């Protein structure tokens, strides 16, 4: 192998290949990273995208591209495309971008959830009408959940002689809160397992 080609390959291993060892660091540590700045900024951009913060994600990837070597920029642009598609709730673009990265595309359920997020919590670029519509949908869902919880509370109270409407509404709200907390905990555990699997790598 010619020396120049070997040097390029070693530089690639030292640049974006450092992402795996940087992923466990905090945001503050990544901000201070200088040796592998491109990789650190790319991780920050991906994390911002997971928070649906498109503006911050775009800025981090801009810094990553500025600090990257020429041979790393194509991979970074593809990562940026995937992250921004996630942050801006664009499921079709996300699927295409992830496939260009050579990774398994998100599942149909994940894409459906992202599409739903795009409706109820659209990005700022979607306009005022879309954002008002999203708020109206959220309010409607909350009312529907309270009605379902109220119905469950009334059914559960029947063997004890029933309860008043006001009490059943408060019990319904409590049931909804408990159900949402349980779902959130289960979701976090699933995300933690998925993150542990990714960190372990395919060969573990």
Domain segments of the chain: what residues? 1-107, 127-204
For residue 102, the SS3 value is coil
Segment 30-47 mean pLDDT:
91
Residue 41 has pLDDT above 90, yes or no: yes
* Range among 16-20, 38-42, 158-162, 164-168 rated most confident: 38-42
Closest CA to 57 of 66, 48, 69: 48
Nearest-10 crossing angle of helices 37-50, 73-87: 20
Q: Quick count: other Cβ atoms within 10 Å of Cβ 11?
A: 14
Q: In angstroms, what is the C-alpha Rg of the chain? A: 23
Q: Which residue has the higher pLDDT, 180 or 16?
A: 180
Mean pLDDT of the chain: 81
Contact 54, 83 (CB under 8 A): no
Residue 13 has pLDDT above 90, yes or no: no
Choose the weakest-confidence range: 124-128, 147-151, 162-166: 124-128
Residue 47 has pLDDT above 70, yes or no: yes
Residue with tokens 């002689």: 161
The gap from C-alpha 86 to its chain's centroid, in whole angstroms, comes to 7
Report which secondary-structure segment, H or E, holds 35. Answer: none
Number of helices and strands in the chain (H, E)? 10, 0
Segment 152-175 mean pLDDT:
84
Give residue 4's pLDDT band: very low, low, confident or very high (50, 70, 90): very low
The gap from C-alpha 196 to its chain's centroid, in whole angstroms, comes to 16
């Amino acid at each position: 192998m010619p020396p120049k080609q070997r040097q390029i390959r070693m530089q690639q291993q030292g640049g974006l290949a450092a992402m795996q060892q940087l992923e466990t660091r905090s945001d503050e540590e990544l901000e201070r990273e200088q040796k592998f700045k491109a990789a650190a900024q790319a991780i920050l951009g991906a994390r911002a995208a997971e928070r649906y913060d498109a503006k911050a994600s775009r800025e981090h990837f801009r810094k990553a591209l500025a600090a990257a070597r020429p041979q790393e920029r194509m991979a970074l642009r593809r990562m940026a495309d995937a992250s921004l598609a996630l942050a801006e709730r664009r499921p079709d673009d996300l699927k295409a971008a992830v496939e260009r990265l050579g990774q398994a595309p998100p599942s149909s359920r994940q894409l459906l959830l992202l599409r739903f997020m795009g409706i109820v919590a659209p990005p700022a670029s979607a306009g005022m009408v879309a954002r008002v519509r999203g708020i109206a949908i959220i309010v409607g869902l909350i009312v529907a959940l309270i009605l379902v919880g109220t119905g469950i509370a009334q059914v559960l109270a029947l063997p004890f002689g029933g309860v008043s409407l006001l009490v059943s509404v408060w019990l319904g709200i409590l049931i909804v809160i408990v159900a949402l907390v349980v779902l959130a905990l289960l979701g976090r555990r699933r995300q933690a397992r998925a993150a542990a699997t990714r960190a372990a790598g395919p060969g573990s």
